[in-house]
Amino acid sequence: MSADALASARILVTNDDGIGAPGIRVLEKIARGLSRDVWVVAPETQQSAVSHSLTIRRPLRLSTLGPKRFAVDGTPTDCVLIGVHEVLKGRAPDLVLSGINMGANLGEDIGYSGTVAAAMEACLLGLRAVAFSLDLPRNGTVPKQPRWETCAHFAPRIIRTLAGLSWPEATLMNVNVPDLAVEAVTGIRVAHQGRRKDGLRLEKRADPEGRPYWWILDYTKEEVQPRGSDLSAINAGAIAVTPVTIDVTAKGFLPDLVAAFA
Ligand code: MN
């Protein structure tokens, strides 16, 4: 897709933080800077960490919030399905953008992320999709002013570059932006999916009536990452661009398994 083609491309914007989240406003603005035909179909409510969930046991409702702006009372995956098959049924989007997520989606986050899952669903529909996430300070607090301006600065160039390539089949792009000012970003690195050594933490607490409850917390610490991973790129102050495929087969193990079952 050339720059000219991008200007008339149909772009669908969605997210997992919900249609009222600040990140989707930023992504919508970025998309409008690239194309005249931008549509938003996003979840009514916060859907972080719902992964690739589908709503299949109750009706899904679509609300019109304004011109080319819709909310679905479901998951990011539901939004992509309703966006493509209903809202944009006359002409499929040329590009689906998901985010900008409040918080990074690095390493094993990809498996939990609703932001990435929306891009995955678009990918399954044969569409090109890019997930955008913004890293937050590592002290666990959500800042009053996340660095959306850093995303707004770099995203158009990233989208143009990606749109200009021919993509392999069943591949989506996962983009993570560091928690840094524009001038402090050290570059754009193509990275593979990293992996933290420690899993998520689980904390047992007591409610005001003394009954136990559990709260899932973030990773204990950031291990030193091998070079080339999304985590090491972000830790080095760079934007990480990771191509992600739908096929999760452990291909390296296939020959041993084939031999074992022969
Ligand atoms: Mn989220």
pLDDT band at 253 (very low <50, low <70, confident <90, very high): very high
Over residues 13-34, mean pLDDT: 98
Give residue 53's Cα distance to chain centre: 14
189 and 67 Cβ atoms separated by less than 8 Å: no
Over residues 11-23, mean pLDDT: 98
214 and 203 Cβ atoms separated by less than 8 Å: yes
Residue 224: the pLDDT is: 73
Q: How far is the CA of 106 from the centre of ligand 1 (A)?
A: 13
Residue 222: the pLDDT is: 64
Dihedral sign of CA atoms 136, 138, 140, 145 in order? negative
**How far is Cα 176 from Cα 163, in angstroms, rounded to an integer?**
17
Give me the percent of the chain exceeding a pLDDT of 90: 88
Q: Which two tokens stand for residue 153?
A: 């600065």
Domains detected in the chain: 3-260 (3.40.1210.10)
Does residue 258 register a pLDDT over 70? Answer: yes
Task: Scan for tokens 């136990």, then name that residue.
Answer: 212
Residue 103: the pLDDT is: 95
pLDDT band at 209 (very low <50, low <70, confident <90, very high): very high
Residue 184: the pLDDT is: 98
* Pairing of β 238-245 and β 187-190: parallel
Q: How far is the CA of 103 from the centre of ligand 1 (A)?
A: 7
Task: Scan for tokens 């204990």, then name that residue.
Answer: 220
pLDDT band at 220 (very low <50, low <70, confident <90, very high): low
pLDDT band at 223 (very low <50, low <70, confident <90, very high): low
Residue 221: the pLDDT is: 61
Per-position DSSP letters for 172-195, written without gaps between them: EEEEEE-SS-GGG--EEEE-B---
Q: How far is the CA of 114 from the centre of ligand 1 (A)?
A: 6
115 class by beta-carbon count within 10 Å (0-12 exposed, 13-18 middle, 19+ buried): buried
Per-residue pLDDT of 96-152, as tens digits, reads 999 999 999 999 999 999 999 999 999 999 999 999 999 998 777 778 899 999 999
Q: How far is the CA of 46 from the centre of ligand 1 (A)?
A: 7
Per-residue pLDDT of 3-12, as tens digits, reads 678 999 999 9
Q: How far is the CA of 211 from the centre of ligand 1 (A)?
A: 29
Q: How far is the CA of 158 from the centre of ligand 1 (A)?
A: 21
Query: For the chain, what is the mean pLDDT?
Result: 95
